[in-house]
Chain A
Amino acid sequence: MENYNLVIIGGGPAGLAAAISAYDKGEKNILILERENKLGGILNQCIHNGFGLHTFNEELTGPEYAYRFIEEVEKRHIKYMLNTTVINLSKDKEIRALSEDGLLIIKAKAIILACGCRERPRGGINIAGSRCAGIYSAGTAQKLVNIDGFMPGKEVVILGSGDIGLIMARRMVFEGAKVKAVVELLPYSSGLNRNIVQCLNDFNIPLLFSHTVVEIKGKDRVESVIIAEVDERLNPKMDTCEEIKCDTLLLSVGLLPENELARGADVNISRITRGAVVDDSLMTSIDGVFECGNVLHVHDLVDYVSEEAKEAGIKAYEYINSKAKKVYPKTEIETDSLVRYTVPELIINNEDYNPLTIKLRVSNVFKKVRLEVKADDEVIFSKARPVVAPGEMEKIDLKEDQVKKLRSSKHILVYLKKVE
């Protein structure tokens, strides 16, 4: 058995940023475990630009952004193991991992889970029809094209207008394919405007809102898909069916945090984010186990992932080095129905005055609202938002006096107020 002060599971942007910040705080005994043969996580396959605008004031591609952090890890000689998959995590912070040398058992004082997320598979959505070749998740297609140099097909329909689907629409066009349509179940896209404009509109790719794929046709390979409009309750209107010939269907129907390890250790998992329930030090329900990045909740900007992970690294360092571990009560943040979730979900009732950020997603598109926070019966934060959408994470930055009030209150409510 090996012992480390801090073990970080996952070497994507979250794991890397957490390692760097813990190291810079003073923790030198760190190990990063990564199951792929390279550090960098999902960014290695995101070769489009648009990363790092907030952090570096530069438009980087995914691999370039990752590389900046990998260099920093290398400079500090932080230890990492590649091709090493963590298969089990126990409540007393014992890790089992499979590496090229066999089974490893590692004991850690603190653990940061930074395992990212994976795509919702086809099983998660119900489409009738054959299980023929030519159906890929958008992320799998992205990996095939951008890393292996393999084109999955020539005539493409994409189901789901999340950012990955939009980015892949343009990517397939660049590689000579025809993208016939992007089909979106909801009346709006969860993708960024910028991607709708620069990945679809630039190439005249139709985006069909309130539509879905009801059937996939083809024997060995996809030959066509049947699409239909949906009603307000998202049920297909069968009299609107239309056939589109294609040899490939890409599914971009959402991401799910990769939380098997946390579940195995009985960490409290949020039913909404599917990530762990954390307090404002990003600690899960297991003492000394932290979460950050896409495993905690799906982020749309990698800059926010890095920011959150930096915080997790600092908190893990503080946890490892605090002598008397005092346990404080925590207050749960409540939300109204317009706010889908907040991260953190719990606020520690201690007297720390450090600045604090509450992140949240709303449940629908709302115009002209105020984002507010109530601590007991006092409104301690209020910000006008001309428009909010589920696709864009909202942030509430609280200052010291606001944090102080928050930490001493018994009821905390985060909500949207409509203004006329």
Chain B
Amino acid sequence: MKEFICINCPLGCHLVVDDSDKNNIIVTGNTCPRGKTYGINEILNPKRMVTSSVCVLNGENNVVSVKTKEAIPKGLIFDSLEILKNIKVNAPVHIGDVIVKNVLNTNVDIIATRNVERI
């Protein structure tokens, strides 16, 4: 049994998900079908987009903001942040520049989300 709050609309239904049988996950507490899909996904494959920043050398700012281009498995959030901690990029950096290719073999790149010019 796991509990979630559905985030798909302001109602925020409290879902109770029975995942004792992975082939027959039972969601209760949802008001509409979107809540059911959400509850099942949160059990089988929860994903999140990760946004953070990395250090920049010779730039107008010390850091540049970055994001995973798509959501990655929730369990990999902290591993991906660990990788970002050790990265330093040289200015200039532009929106869309790839900072990490295929992070943790997810097939998702981490890209820059702002421009930092060289000074």
Cβ of B62 and Cβ of A202 under 8 Å apart? no
Q: Does A204 contact B (CB under 8 A)?
A: no
Residues in B whose Cβ lies below 8 Å from that of A146: 53, 63, 65
Taken together as a complex, chains A and B put the C-alpha atoms of A98 and B31 apart, in Å, by: 55
The contact string, 1 if C-beta is below 8 Å from chain A, for chain B 73-103, is 0100000010000000000000100000000
Taken together as a complex, chains A and B put the C-alpha atoms of A48 and B11 apart, in Å, by: 23
Cβ of A174 and Cβ of B52 under 8 Å apart? yes
> Which B7-22 residues sit within 8 Å CB-CB of chain A?
7, 10-12
Cβ of A387 and Cβ of B10 under 8 Å apart? yes
Cβ of B63 and Cβ of A61 under 8 Å apart? no
Cβ of A64 and Cβ of B53 under 8 Å apart? no
Taken together as a complex, chains A and B put the C-alpha atoms of A386 and B114 apart, in Å, by: 39
Cβ of A194 and Cβ of B7 under 8 Å apart? yes
Contacts known (A67-B95, A149-B61); A61 close to B51, Cβ less than 8 A: yes
Which of B6, B48, B51 has a CB less than 8 Å from the CB of A47?
A: B51
Q: Does B104 contact A (CB under 8 A)?
A: no
Of the listed residues A149, A386, A388, the one surrounded by the most CB atoms of chain B closer than 10 A to its CB is A149
Taken together as a complex, chains A and B put the C-alpha atoms of A198 and B38 apart, in Å, by: 13
Cβ of B10 and Cβ of A389 under 8 Å apart? yes
Residues in B whose Cβ lies below 8 Å from that of A145: 53
Q: Does B26 contact A (CB under 8 A)?
A: no
Contacts known (A148-B62, A174-B52); A67 close to B115, Cβ less than 8 A: yes
Q: Does A318 contact B (CB under 8 A)?
A: no
Contacts known (A61-B65, A61-B113); A387 close to B11, Cβ less than 8 A: yes
Cβ of A149 and Cβ of B62 under 8 Å apart? yes
Residues in B whose Cβ lies below 8 Å from that of A61: 51, 65, 67, 113-114
Q: Does A215 contact B (CB under 8 A)?
A: no
Cβ of B65 and Cβ of A47 under 8 Å apart? yes
Cβ of A193 and Cβ of B5 under 8 Å apart? yes
Contacts known (A63-B65, A64-B113); A193 close to B53, Cβ less than 8 A: no
Cβ of B61 and Cβ of A147 under 8 Å apart? yes
Which of A59, A67, A198 has a CB less than 8 Å from the CB of B7?
A: A198
Of the listed residues B5, B11, B51, B53, the one surrounded by the most CB atoms of chain A closer than 10 A to its CB is B51
Q: Does B49 contact A (CB under 8 A)?
A: yes
Cβ of B11 and Cβ of A386 under 8 Å apart? yes
Contacts known (A47-B113, A63-B113, A387-B10); A149 close to B81, Cβ less than 8 A: no
Taken together as a complex, chains A and B put the C-alpha atoms of A193 and B53 apart, in Å, by: 25
